[in-house]
Amino acid sequence: MNKHYDIIIVGAGPSGLSTALHLDQLVNAERSSILILEKARHPRPKLCAGGILVDGERIIAKLGLDLCEVPHVDVDRALFNFQGRGLAARFFNKKPIFRTVRRNEFDAWLANKAKERGIKIQEETTVKKVENFDDYVLVRTSKGDFYAKVLVGADGSNSKVRASVAKSKRPHVGRALEVITPVLAISQAEDRASFDFHPISKGISGYLWDFPAKIEGETMRCWGIYDSNIVKRENRVSLRQILAEEMAKSGYNLDDYELKGHPIRWYDVGNQASVPRVILVGDALGVDALLGEGISPALGYGRIAAEEILRAFAKDDFSFRGYSEGLLRTPLGAALWRRTFIARLFYRFKNKFWQGLIWHWFKWLTVLIGMAFVIGWEKKKK
C-alpha cells in the first residue's frame, strides 16, 4: 500500500472533504497524490443541528453539487426571541432562511461525491500523532505510518493534529448540548426554527435552539443550547437545567431523552493556524463564536486551504507563514473575525433591559446588523 502522498487530509467532515473537492476543482489534482484519513466510516454519527445557511449552499453549488439531493427540511421562518418575544424572519423571495440536514447523511453524501471524483478516503484509520520535519510530515495512525509533503488538520474541535503541532493551547472553546425529540406541540410547524437568547441573562454567552429535523422520513425536533464561553461567568449555571426548563414549557421532560454534548472551537485571531507543512481548517482552527455555526465556515475553509496549498507547491515554500493573515483577508476570515468581535460585545449585555432593547425595541436594526455583518459572506455564483 502506498504510504507517501503529496497531501494528506485528516478528517472527512465538511472541512476536510471541501479541501479535497476544491483541490480537485482548482487543478484537477493528481488524485492519487491526495489521501483523506478518517477515523470513522461514513455514514457516521456527528452531533450537530445540521443548519446550513446560504453561504454553505453557495459553496456547495460552486463545487457543482446540489444540496437538495440530501434529505433536508426547508426552514422558512426563524424566530429570534428574548424571553418569548422578538422577531420572526423570513425572506421575501420565498427562499428558505436555512436548511437542516442530518450530518450522518450530509457528510456521507459529500464523501461519496469526493470518491466519485476519484479522491481516496481511507476510513477506520485514526490519526494518533503528527510530527513535522523539514521535508515531510510523519502521520502516525492506527493503520501504520503515512508520509505527506503537506498535512491538513480537518479533524474537528478535539483535533489530534492541532494538539500534536500547535504551540498555542488557548482554549477558545464553546459547548453545545443537543437532544432529538418527537413533535409534541402543534405550534412546532415543520418550517419553523427558533432561537431564544434568554440564557444570556443567566450568564450564558449563547442561546437555545429548536429546529425541525427529518430523521428516516419522520419529522422530529432538534433542541439544544450553545454556550460560547466567550464572556467569563461569575457563577456556573447548568446548561442542562436551562434547556430542561425551556423544553418543559412545550411539554417535554428532558429526562425522557438522550442528551449529548460536544465542544465547538471558535475562531480567534490568536489561534495558531499553521506550522511548517501543516495547516488547520474548520473546527480544528475555529468557526463562528457568535452562533456556533460551523458547517458553512468549514466548507469555506476548504477553498482557502486548497488555494494556500497550491501556492505552497508552486513556490516550493511550505512554511505557510502567510496562511493566518491571508485567511483574514478572505470574506470568510473577515466574517469570522466580525462574529468573534460581535460575540465579545453582545454577550456582555447580560442585563434583561439591554437584551430587551436589542430584541424588542431595536429588532430591525438587529436584523440589519445580522444581514450586513453575520451572513452572506459567500457571494452568489456568477
Ligand X SMILES: Cc1cc2nc3c(=O)[nH]c(=O)nc-3n(C[C@H](O)[C@H](O)[C@H](O)COP(=O)(O)OP(=O)(O)OC[C@H]3O[C@@H](n4cnc5c(N)ncnc54)[C@H](O)[C@@H]3O)c2cc1C
- What burial letters (b/e) apply to 125-154, b meaning 16+ CB within 10 Å? bebeebebeeebbebebeeeebbbbbbbbb
Smallest separation (angstroms) from ligand X to the CB of 312: 21
Smallest separation (angstroms) from ligand X to the CB of 259: 10
- In sign, the C-alpha dihedral spanning 22, 25, 26, 30 is positive
Q: How far apart (Å, rounded) are the C-alpha atoms in residues 5 and 34? A: 6
Smallest separation (angstroms) from ligand X to the CB of 42: 8
For cell 446550513, the residue is 52
Closer Cβ to ligand X, 13 or 333, answer by number: 13
Closer Cβ to ligand X, 365 or 371, answer by number: 371
Find out whether 159 and 222 touch, Cβ atoms under 8 Å: no
Burial of 66 (0-12, 13-18, 19+ CB in 10 A): exposed
Closer Cβ to ligand X, 7 or 10, answer by number: 10
Binding site for ligand X (CB under 6 A): 10-16, 37-40, 46-51, 126-127, 154-156, 160, 176, 178, 224, 262, 264, 282-283, 287, 292-296, 298
Smallest separation (angstroms) from ligand X to the CB of 286: 9
Closer Cβ to ligand X, 44 or 316, answer by number: 44
Smallest separation (angstroms) from ligand X to the CB of 162: 10
Q: Which stretches does DSSP call E strand in the chain?
A: 4-10, 34-37, 51-52, 72-75, 77-82, 85-89, 98-101, 120-122, 127-132, 137-141, 144-153, 173-182, 192-196, 206-215, 218-227, 260-265, 274-275, 278-280
Smallest separation (angstroms) from ligand X to the CB of 222: 8
Smallest separation (angstroms) from ligand X to the CB of 98: 8
Q: Which three cell numbers stand for residue 227?
A: 454556550
What SS3 class is residue 382?
A: coil
Closer Cβ to ligand X, 81 or 159, answer by number: 159
Closer Cβ to ligand X, 51 or 206, answer by number: 51
Closer Cβ to ligand X, 151 or 382, answer by number: 151
